[in-house]
Chain A
Amino acid sequence: MTAPTDKVIKKYVPMSETAFYILLSLFKQPQHGYGIVKYVEDITSGRLKLGSGTVYGTITKMLKDHLIVVYANEERKKTYEITELGNEIIQREMTRLEELYTNAMAHRGEKK
Chain B
Amino acid sequence: MSYTHFWKPFWSYHIQSTEHWVGEMSKKGYTLTHFQPKLSRFTFSEEASPHETFAISFDRSKQHPLPKALEADGWEVVNKKRKWAVYGNTKQKDEVKTSIVRDNLESRNSKISMFWWAYFLYMIFSISLQASLLIPLYLSNDSFTVTRVESPMWILTYFMAAVQMGVTIIGIYSLIALKKESRRLSEEVTQSQLLEDSTDKPVTLSGERRTKFKVGWMYAPDKIETWLEEKEQSGWHLIHVNKGGVKFQFERSDKNLYAYSVLFEGRADRNAHAFHSEAGWERVYVSGSSWQQWSIWRQAYSEEMEKPEINDDLESKQRAAMSVAKIYTLMFSPIIVLFGFNFFSFMLPNALEQGYFSLSGIERFNTTIFPLAMSVFLISILRAWAYYFRVRS
Interface string of B158-198 (1 = CB under 8 A from A): 00000000000000000000000000000011101100000
Given contacts A33-B275, A70-B67, contact A75 B310 (CB under 8 A): no
- A74 CA / B261 CA spacing, docked (Å): 31
CB <8 Å contact, B310 and A34: no
CB <8 Å contact, A57 and B319: yes
Contacts of B281 in A (CB 8 A): 52
Is B315 part of the contact surface with A, judged by Cβ < 8 Å? yes
Q: Using a Cβ–Cβ cut-off of 8 Å, how many residues does chain B contribute to the interface with A?
A: 38
Considering the complex, give the chain B residue whose CB is closest to the CB of A18: B313
Interface string of B215-245 (1 = CB under 8 A from A): 0000000000000000000000000000000
Which stretch, A77-85, A92-100, A101-109, touches the partner chain B? A77-85
Contacts of A83 in B (CB 8 A): 65
Given contacts A51-B310, A66-B63, A66-B65, contact A75 B278 (CB under 8 A): no
Contacts of A74 in B (CB 8 A): 97-98
CB <8 Å contact, A52 and B310: yes
Is B70 part of the contact surface with A, judged by Cβ < 8 Å? yes
Is A76 part of the contact surface with B, judged by Cβ < 8 Å? yes
Is B99 part of the contact surface with A, judged by Cβ < 8 Å? yes
Is A49 part of the contact surface with B, judged by Cβ < 8 Å? yes
Contacts of B103 in A (CB 8 A): 70
- A81 CA / B276 CA spacing, docked (Å): 20
Interface string of A44-57 (1 = CB under 8 A from B): 00000111111111
B61–chain A nearest beta-carbon distance, Å: 7
A53–chain B nearest beta-carbon distance, Å: 4
CB <8 Å contact, A53 and B263: yes
Is B284 part of the contact surface with A, judged by Cβ < 8 Å? no
Contacts of B306 in A (CB 8 A): 49
Contacts of B101 in A (CB 8 A): 70-72, 78
Q: How many A-B pairs fall under 8 Å by CB?
A: 98
Contacts of A70 in B (CB 8 A): 67, 101, 103
CB <8 Å contact, B312 and A54: yes
Contacts of B70 in A (CB 8 A): 71
Contacts of A75 in B (CB 8 A): 190, 192
Considering the complex, give the chain A residue whose CB is closest to the CB of B66: A69
Is B320 part of the contact surface with A, judged by Cβ < 8 Å? yes
Contacts of B308 in A (CB 8 A): 49, 51
Considering the complex, give the chain B residue whose CB is closest to the CB of A29: B69
Is A73 part of the contact surface with B, judged by Cβ < 8 Å? yes
CB <8 Å contact, B261 and A53: yes
Considering the complex, give the chain A residue whose CB is closest to the CB of B305: A49
Is A30 part of the contact surface with B, judged by Cβ < 8 Å? yes
- A104 CA / B302 CA spacing, docked (Å): 37
B286–chain A nearest beta-carbon distance, Å: 15
- A18 CA / B313 CA spacing, docked (Å): 8
Best-surrounded residue of A37, A71, A73, A74 (most CB of chain B within 10 A): A71
CB <8 Å contact, A53 and B189: no
CB <8 Å contact, A58 and B316: yes
Contacts of A16 in B (CB 8 A): 313, 315
CB <8 Å contact, A73 and B278: no
Is B271 part of the contact surface with A, judged by Cβ < 8 Å? yes
CB <8 Å contact, B312 and A51: yes
In chain B, residues 311-330, which have Cβ atoms closer than 8 Å to a Cβ of chain A?
A: 311-313, 315-316, 319-320
The 6 closest A-B pairs by CB, nearest first: A51-B312, A53-B310, A52-B279, A53-B311, A33-B275, A34-B278
What would 30 A/B residue contacts be, using CB atoms closer than 8 Å? A16-B313, A18-B313, A33-B279, A37-B279, A51-B316, A52-B278, A52-B310, A53-B272, A53-B276, A53-B311, A54-B315, A54-B316, A57-B316, A57-B320, A66-B65, A70-B67, A70-B101, A71-B70, A71-B100, A72-B99, A73-B97, A74-B98, A75-B192, A76-B99, A76-B188, A77-B193, A78-B271, A79-B69, A81-B68, A83-B65
Chain B positions within 8 Å of A, measured between CB atoms, are 61, 63, 65, 67-70, 97-101, 103, 188-190, 192-193, 261, 263, 271-272, 275-276, 278-279, 281, 306, 308-313, 315-316, 319-320
Q: A51-B279, A53-B320 are in contact. List 4 more A-B contacts (CB 8 A).
A: A33-B278, A53-B309, A71-B67, A73-B97
